[in-house]
Structures are given as C-alpha cells and as structure tokens.
Structure 1
Amino acid sequence: MSRLAKSLDVHQLAARNSLNALADSLVAARLNLPNTHPTTPDIHSKKTSRYLVGSVGTGKSMLMDSFHASLNSRAKDLNLPPLSQRIHFLAFMSSIHSQLHEIRSTLPTRDPFQVLASNIIKKAPVLCLDEFQVVDIGDAMVLRRLLETLYSFNPPSESTSRNEHTNPQFSLVTTSNKQIQDLYGKGLNRSVVKPMLSLLESKCETLHLNPGLDYRRTSQSPPSKIQPFIHPQTPTESLTSLRTRFLSNYFQTQTPPPLPSPQNILLPSSRTLPIIHQTPGKSLLLHFTSLCGNAGTLGGADYIHLCKTYPTIHILGPVPRLSRDDTDAHGVKGVDLGRRFINFIDVAYDTHTRIFVESTHTAVETLVGLRPHDDAPVATRVVDAETTVKKEGGASSSGSATYVGIMEWSATGLQDASLSSIGGVGVSETGFAVERALSRVVEMGREGWGRALE
C-alpha cells in the first residue's frame, strides 16, 4: 500500500501502517516464520484484528480494500491460498442467515456455528467486512455467536498438504461509522450484544480516521451530466415534464414510449417482484414502492441480486421527501422506507451499480427528514435466548424472519413492532446512515462511476 502514501492524510497513514504491520504478521504466521518486523505485533497476541472507524468519506473502505488486495497479492507471490475475503456487511449477513438455514436443515446434529466458522476460515481466514453495523436483534444474536466461534476456532492441521504451513487463525478487518461500544446503542435486548462488543474490543486495534472530512465531497472528479436524483429543475416544472425527462434517460430517447404493462420477475429468495421494464444484463426500471415499500417485501439478499444482475437501475417515483414520522399510501412508515432505501444505496455503491431516482426533491431534501429527533424514544426489554432464522419473510437486513425460542419476532426484537413505532436503534441507525448515503450519492454522480455494461 506504499503507493498511496503521498495522497494519505496523517490519520490514514497511521491506519495504513497498522494494517501493513498486521499483513506482515499474518504472512509470517501463515509461513510459520518468526516475526522479524520490529514494529509488527505477534499474531498470537490479542490485537489480531483492526476496526477502522470514522465519519463518512474519510477513506475507511479505501484502506481496507488496499489491505485486502495487498495481502492476497503477497499470498499469491508466496504460493499460498488467498488469505483475505472482502464483503459488504449486508451481503455478509444475508449469506450467513442463508447458510445457517441450510446447515440446520441438512446437518441438524451439528453445531451450525462451528460448521459456518469452518467454512469461512477455509475460504480465507481474514474477513474484510465493510460498514459493520448492528441494527436488529436477529443479526445481533447471530453475530455474537458467530464471532465467538470464529475467534476460538481451531481448525484441524493440514500441514502435510500445505508444505508445512501452519493453519491460519481468524482475523477481522472492518470499517464502521461507530465506535465499538456505540454499536446497537439504543437497541432492544442490548445485554445480548455486550459480550460481543467486549470481544471486539479485546481483539481489535481501533484505527481512527479524520473526523469531519469527507473526501467524496471534496473530490475534483467532474460530476456526470445526469445525476442519480432526477428532480424538478425549477419550482414550476410539472411532474409530467419530470417524468418525461426521467424516462428519456432510461429509454435514451427524447420521446419515450408509454410505460409498458408491469411484469413480474422471480427472485432467488422466491419472492415475486413487479417491475416495469428490463434489459437483461444492462438496466432495470421499477417503482420505488416495489423496491422499498409494501411492508418490507424485499430484503438485503434481493437488493444484492438486483444490483449484481443490472449495472443500471432506474427507480420510478417520484420519491417524496422521506420523514421518519410519515406513513405512505400503503401504510409503510417513513423510517422503514428510509432504512430500506439506504440499504439499497449501500448495496448499489458497493457493487458500483448506477442508480437513477425520480424524485420530487434533491437527495439531501429527500433523506434529511429521516434524521432522528433528540427526543426519540428508547424501548428496552431483556431477552436472552437462542435464535433461529427462517429463510422466508421478515424485514431485517437479511430479509429473514427471526425466532427467539418458538416465537417469531420482528427485526426490532418485539412482536408486531415496526422500527418507527418504538424508535430505538432502527430510528437512530437510519438517521445516522443518512450522511453516509448522501456522501455516496455524491460519488455515484461523478463522471465514470459504475461498472461496464455486459
């Protein structure tokens, strides 16, 4: 990562040096060599992981991605298997819930977390996890069990098949907008999460990035001609004119044809999604209510599939200003709409998917109402029980329904309680994520953003 040194600020340089030291230590341990780097901590010491924390746009993901690429490049040069795997938190939790469901179905007598930990470490022992967050009780309980198992996991020796290389131990490198002890700060049943937070603090060296400096907003890259949020250009522009401009962008003609009849597509989650039009491998046109509304029909796994399938996604609205206190025509609370929309933006950003949103206002005006009030209520209720996850249904980050004992719980941890009705972590996390989403939308509006069409 030395090639980045000239462009890094003092906080990024310190974080990079710590990540380089960790990489040296990991490679030495993998080769069963003594640690010869005077500034590199021994890999068997407690601080075998890194937690990059800072406000939006401070370079956390850039540093983690550079570490991930550098570590695997070194492993390849040494004829080692990949040491690092990189994934966004939402995609990770979606995969974890799906795998747990499959393991419990096919291996009912095995400890599913032991099987899961073994699968993760065999793929690559260093997990680079972008945008670590703890929002709902299902994810919280699963994360606690999983991290405890990963950090204590002892894989069987494979030295005879790997040229006497020692088996690697688990290491986490993750980014977050929140300090470890602030995770799930207003969440229900927080006693379930506290042991995991203590574990993270014991294993992770926290690397602080420059607060308040958003490099995405200060980038010199020129903006593209068409921005992600397409909204009225003047106070008097009609919604009819807005719709014409929006569809002209999608159909790439100044006289767009009438909207075709809606069609349904079947997602891998077995959910049926109504869309308006698609060009396979290129673009998708669908309505905002189909994407984020309808009482949370879609989950994180669906957003991941859509973004990986379509390099460009057009969202028909017009999306109004979203407020945590409002309810849409279908009865969906504003904070729930906002949380799902921000989750979608996160996935689109991570997969370099171009999005275009027909909106009544700018991105800032659309999302600013999701910030929590100072008097947002905090609900508390203590539950400490085993969690199981059902693949279908639910509105958690994974789109899975959570069970505590035999009782189905919502993503909030309370029966029949939406995020907005109780406040707490759902409201605070959504409000906190607004700045991240707005920062990412700025970068997504830069010239050249997005991946090549197939």
Structure 2
Amino acid sequence: MALTPPLASPWHRQRPKAVGAALLAGIEHDAGRSGFALEPSQRAAAERLAAFGASVTGRRRALPTTVTRARTPRSIYLHGPVGRGKTWLMDSFYRGLHARKRRVHFHDFFRSLHRGTHGQQGAGDGTAIQRSVDALLADIDVLFFDEFHVHDVGDGMFMARLLRTAAQRHVPLVVTSNYAPDELLPNPLWHDHFLPTIEAIKDMMDVLVVSGPSDFRRYPVAGSSLDAAPPAFSSGRIICPGSAHQLGRLGLFAPPASQSRVLTPTTQPVVVKNADPDLLWVSFGSLFAGLTSTADYLALADAYKAWVIDDVPSPAHADASMAPAWQRFSNAVDVLYDQDIPLFLVGVGPLDWDAAGTDGVQPVDLARIASRLSLLGRSPADTDNEGPAGS
C-alpha cells in the first residue's frame, strides 16, 4: 500500500482542534452521502477517532523527536455486534486521515505472516515472525487492523508480538473486532495464557462499543451503502436438500468419484471432490473436521473462483464436539466474504444459523456467520410448479 507523505499535507500546519473537527465532519459527510445518520454509539466512536486523528497530526508537528515519541496517542479498539458499522467507521476515518498509515485485515495479516515465515531460516525461533511484524510497522504513523480476533493460542502469540512491537515503536493502532478484549481467545484451556495480552490491550487502548440496534448487513437503511455486500459472494446460494434438480438449475453438477483428488494448500492434505480454476467442490467434513487453518482457506481462495461445500450439517443439531469444525467454517466464510468469492452451501438442513441456543458454537461467531450467510439466497425446494432459482 502506498503511504501518504504526511509533511507535504497542509493538514500538518493546522491546529489539532481544527484537524479533529474536519475529520469528524468528513465522517458525518460520508454517512449522509451513504443515506444514514450516525447513531449514538457510532457518533461517540467517530468523535474519539477524530480526536485521535488530531493527536496523530499534532504529534507530527512536534519539534523534538523525543517529544514526538513520548506523546504517542492512545490506540483505539472498536468492538460490538456484527454489521453495526465498525469497519465502515474505520474506513471513513482512514480515508480522511493525512498521515503515514497502513490498513490490514486479520486474514491478510496471517497470510503475510505465513508467506514471510514459510521456509525461512529462523522461523521456528520467532525471528521470521518478528521480521514480518517489523515490515508491517515500518514507516507508518498508524496501523489500522480490521476484524481482530484470537481463537488459537498460536494466533495469540503472533498478536502479542505485534502489540508489543507496536508499543516499542510508538505506533498506535485502530482496531475493529466483534469481541470485547476480555472475550478474546475464549477457549478455557488457553484463555488464562492470553490474559497478560488482554490487560495490555486495555492498558494501551481506549475500548469503545459500537452497538446500534440494527445489523446493516441484514436490514440496511433505505439507500444506504453501509457495509455494502460483496456482489460475488452474495450471488451464492444455500441449497437444501441439494437435489440434482436444484443444483442443475444453478449450473452445478455433483462430480463423480473419479474427479476426487488431494490438495495440500499449505501443510494439511485435503480430499476434495473436484478442483479446477473455476470451481472447488469439497465436503464440510473434509475441509473442517481435520487440522486445516485460515492459511489453507486463503491459499484455496487464491486458486479457485467459486466454492461448493456440501454435506453441511445442520447448526441446529450441533454439539460441543463440533465446535472446532464450526470455528474453521466461520473462518472460511470470513475469507470468502472478504475475497468476494461465490459460496454454495449444500445440506439436508435445516441450514439456519439464526437458530438460538445452538450448542457448541460460540455466540459471537454464530452471529457473524448468520449475518454474512444471510446475504446468500436460498434455492427453493423442488416442487411441480417451481420457477428458476432465486425467484
């Protein structure tokens, strides 16, 4: 990403109060142009972001480098339910902020880590990881980090390294998450190990909740472009029970056993039913019941333009033993949503991620899955008088 040279901007000759007012006005203008007004929690977050931006630009105006470093602005951690505009707020602020800045998504961060450490000498002792973190923080005044979450103890170690290095480099962060800091790495087997990092987050960041009443992905304001759905991802379908007739209307035909093959996207082999550049067809169990990770889904997303996942179990009948598989499924949905790749889910059903009280699936992850999968159409069940799919 190209970095904006901050000293060339007239913003750095303005007083911080004027900079903050202009940043807040820019966010409000973006909201109006998108067809909505900021609700109270969004406005509170926007005001704090504007004040943060004024501190960043004011920091650049300070003369001695030692003074500049001593006045590192407090980082910002925005969290709340899915679809409330956290990423929208961050992106609007990002566009308006005149500073050296970099924006990364959780999955892109770990993809760069994987690429940066794969096969490198020193990867095992953490030096390659540190080099990747150093590259991420190089030559910037602010790091923007979208969809921050930690489910794996290894991910937690990476995040701890990132936060520690950012603090040492005096680089503040703007973070969005569906999780409050205390809810990160919720697995009781590992949560206590992450407590020092959680305390560091709360110590170095102002934690704000963005929790308006509406999920804008599901119930957008009329004319609003807030959290606009990725068009290709939204062209996918949820198909129950997955009859040949239903699939055929969508141009999908169950592959014969002879087309099965084994892929190794990173380190874990995955048995798939079909794989060509236009389509990956794989069962839920093959992809999520083993030890695959987000790095595998990112590699597969780079290689295949559309995905069919069949034999999807009903989330209403999940039990605790299914929790790891549902977590991997959630991560894959995130990747496909972010990469804007069509997703077709096939199962006997009911494939209803809004079912309350589903055991074995973490509530916040279930909400994120439900919000994103609500963008997919549902193919009608076979009837004598049915019309085309999606009608």
Is the structural similarity TM-score above 0.5? yes
Find the residue that maps to 2:138 and give its secondary structure: helix
Share of identical aligned residues, percent? 26
Q: Name which of 266, 269, 277 aligns with 1:269.
A: 266
Aligned residue runs from structure 1 range 94-113, under 5 A: 94-96=111-113, 99-100=116-117, 105=122, 111=127
Q: Name which of 103, 108, 122 aligns with 2:138.
A: 122
Correspondence for 1:439:
371
CA contact (8 A) 1:56 1:439 kept: yes
CA contact (8 A) 2:82 2:178 kept: yes
Q: Name which of 18, 27, 32 aligns with 2:48.
A: 18
Check 1:321–1:33 CA distance in 2 against 1; reply closer, same or farther (3 A cut).
closer
Separation of aligned partners in 1, 2:111 and 2:254: 37
Find the residue that maps to 1:55 and give its secondary structure: coil
CA contact (8 A) 1:323 1:335 kept: no
Correspondence for 1:51:
77
Deviation at 1:125, TM superposition (A): 5.0
Q: Name which of 71, 83, 86 aligns with 2:101.
A: 83
CA contact (8 A) 1:47 1:202 kept: no
RCO higher in structure (CA 8 A, sep ≥6): 1
Residue type of the alignment partner of 1:135: H
Deviations 1:6-52 (A, max 9, x none): 222222122223223333433444xx3149xxxxxx98546431111
Deviations 1:185-243 (A, max 9, x none): 453244432221222112212222124421112125899997631114xxxxxx6xx24
Residue type of the alignment partner of 2:122: S
Correspondence for 1:391:
none
Deviation at 1:119, TM superposition (A): 1.4
Separation of aligned partners in 2, 1:370 and 1:99: 38
Separation of aligned partners in 1, 2:195 and 2:127: 23
Check 1:14–1:361 CA distance in 2 against 1; reply closer, same or farther (3 A cut).
same
Q: Which runs of 5+ in 1 are unaligned?
A: 36-41, 76-81, 154-168, 233-238, 327-332, 373-426, 447-454
CA contact (8 A) 1:334 1:370 kept: no
Residue type of the alignment partner of 2:363: G
Deviation at 1:352, TM superposition (A): 1.7
Find the residue that maps to 1:443 and give its secondary structure: coil
Residue type of the alignment partner of 2:237: P
CA contact (8 A) 1:263 1:274 kept: yes
Correspondence for 1:235:
none
Correspondence for 2:300:
306
Separation of aligned partners in 2, 1:43 and 1:356: 50
CA contact (8 A) 2:314 2:352 kept: no
Correspondence for 1:389:
none
Aligned residue runs from structure 1 range 23-422, under 5 A: 23-29=53-59, 32-34=60-62, 44-45=70-71, 47-71=73-97, 74-75=98-99, 83-87=101-105, 89-96=106-113, 99-100=116-117, 105=122, 111=127, 114-122=130-138, 124=140, 126-153=142-169, 169-219=170-220, 228-232=237-241, 242-251=243-252, 256=253, 259=256, 261-264=258-261, 266-280=263-277, 282-293=278-289, 295-296=290-291, 298-321=292-315, 323-325=317-319, 333-364=321-352, 370-372=358-360
Q: Which runs of 5+ in 2 are unaligned?
A: 1-25, 379-391
Residue type of the alignment partner of 2:325: L
Q: Which has the higher helix share?
A: 2
Aligned residues between the structures? 336
RMSD: 3.5
Separation of aligned partners in 2, 1:346 and 1:149: 27
Separation of aligned partners in 2, 1:355 and 1:148: 37
Residue type of the alignment partner of 1:16: A
Separation of aligned partners in 1, 2:161 and 2:207: 22
